A and B are shown apart, each in its own frame.
Chain A
Amino acid sequence: MSPAELFALPFMQRALIAALLTGLAAPAIGTFLVQRRLALMGDGIGHVAVTGVAIGLVTNTSPTWAAVVVAVLGAVLIETIRERGQTNGDVALALLFYGGLAGGILVSGIDGQSAASLNRYLFGSLTTISAGDVIVTMVLSIAVIGLSVGLAPQLFAVAQDQEFARVAGLQVRAYNLLVAVLAAVSVTVAMRTVGLLLVSALMVVPVATSQQLTRSFRTTIAAAMVLGAFASVGGLVLATFASYKANVAPGPTIVLLALACYVVAWPIGIWTRRRARLSEPFAEGQIPVHEACDEHPHAHGPGCGHLAVPHDDHVDYVHDGHRHAEHGAHYDEH
């Protein structure tokens, strides 16, 4: 089968549409997670969604919708624990992380058959997406993209400085919950593409790549979305071509391609930052706290010929218009 025929197949086109949209949606919301230094939140939600998928499989309902519901609940729970409790975000994530994965494996074990199909969600199976799934994916990812781009000024302000946002009259808690819910939705959207275990990569790696080269938030989020779409579509195409020779899964290919972009961008980022530093002028008018004077062969002491001035707990010696104070083996300017 030639590549042209292969890409003309309906399942392949469905896979391409799903890959493109998830590649755009995941980094869009991922940028706000990275901005709040919650880069692993996507991973935590992904693990919670495992339980949702398992419940959907066992009860013979839609695994996607079950995952959406459970992931949203999990995300809201993480946000609530983080905000209300003494626990910090990190620990809240860890609790949900393990609970979700253990719950998913336990539930799927109850019904022996579903363990194999759980794999499809853990590692992604772009090529088994049905027409109905594609429509759900399209609706959900367009909603995620629309909200995270449309509300970007508000979400940016909340993620940048929560206290300022509160005094500016923004509903900080509502926006935080919105980010959590959007993250949960994009996790469930992306689970068919890259799988629940790798979902966070599509939310974080394009952002990490683009911020190597950008100076503003707007270009960071735009570049992350472009990179995410490039990585997911490119990864799918690569995996398709490679499948003539070997059995290559699209999910890991997408993630590895995104990481390859990072590997390319990283040294460029270091180089440009270095250049930016070199072009910086010296910090204007810094006042040294401790200014040691240069070579000082003369040793001050009582009767040395310089005017002695008591200065708090020590003695300064007036020396050509400045005052020198002994400090260990050298003299300081006072």
Chain B
Amino acid sequence: MLFNSYIFIFLFLPLSLLTYFLLLKWEKVSAAKYSLFFSSLFFYAYGNVKYSILIMTSILVNYYISEFLMKIKLPSKRKALFYFALLFNIGLLCFFKYMDFFIENVNWLFGSEIGLLKIVLPLGISFFTLQQLAFVIDVYTGQAKENKFIDYGLFVTFFPQLVAGPIVHYKDIIPQFQSKDNKSFKAESLSLGIFIFTIGLFKKVIIADTFAPFASEGFKHVGDLHFFYAWGTSLAYAFQIYFDFSGYSDMAIGLGAMFNIKIPANFKSPYKSTNIVDFWSRWHITLTNFITAYIFTPIVRSMPKMTFPYMMLSMFLAMTIAGLWHGAAWTFVVFGVLHGAAIVIHHNWKKYKIKLPVYVSWPVTFIFVSMCFTMFRAKTVEQAWRIYKGMFGFSGFQLPKGILSTELMNSWGIKYGPHMVNDENIHLALIIICFFIVRKMKNSVEHAQEFKRTHKEALVTAMMFVLCLFGLNRLTEFIYFNF
């Protein structure tokens, strides 16, 4: 089920809220939690019931392994169980997500013809697997305590964050479900939730979905992409992915707020970043935190020495893994490698006190990030490379129609190029508007902090919401659903 659908907004969400808070009002706390748990499972299974079997299996295996880990004292047995848990979770992810990628590469390397399994990627598997891995690791290291099954189940399945994050840590979520303060309906929480949800919905439905056809058209015609079109395509996708993903995260946070659950922020104006480390402290923040705690730190600890070069190597490897986490294709590996390399370069510049002025560092960071997202979106590395060629003028230089008069163009020997989509002016206008939004305007976290629940805010929110209602008919999925 999609957040940006009538059935979710007008049926599922009100019913879930009503059931949950009514049961809490009648002091049926367990029943309320189970109602939310089953609502979340229903949300997940909507469209494909098989998904719910997978997630339930994953929850049960991880929960009971954790229980045993907490009870068993013998180190060798604990270690064996822990490795089994790692194998189970990573194995699940590898099977569903990476098996065909692995087979393709074996076929390419050895000239074999092993048939692909064509496994359908279950929704959200990367997210709920990571969350549970973090929990199991913390249980093994003695940092997590025992929890009731329903609390654990809710932590994994809570529908606002289930399918595409933010990646919540059990320490953030489980105590909130257990807290007495959250057990009653709060009008102010509903207000905040509606406000943030609407911002997210607007970002997705009005902005991201408007960019989508421009980006798609560009990626379909990589051979025809001259300079302006190549940049237009790259920028269109950079904005699409940002507004799509941050919009989803805002909706998740808003929905959480409606249930009195604070879901951590995932984006804080990443396109204002002036260096790559700054970017990753603002983009998909929960993923950055997970990578730091559960991938980078163990890698660093496994290095022979704690020196700068080994730290850099660890960072590079962690980012490469993060790239591969996004998808089973070489483009994602290259995406991770590029970011890893950029972070290493940044740290080296910092070490040698090389600093760029903001008017250089911001465009360099933004252009680098956009180009990495081009790699991210491309079907193959070669496709991305063709777009890069276009962006640097190696595929010709033709202006979109209407920029200058034909006579002037002819006198300078410049031609108008073939046109990609009919609404080039809208594309250009939207890019300019989005530059202003991402550079100058406050992000949703800042808006939420200044939220005062006035009737003026209600009017603006209502206007955005109603506009989005008209946009829900162009049903599109979220980009991060593919992960």
A-B complex is real: no
Chain A interface (Cβ < 8 Å from any Cβ of B): none
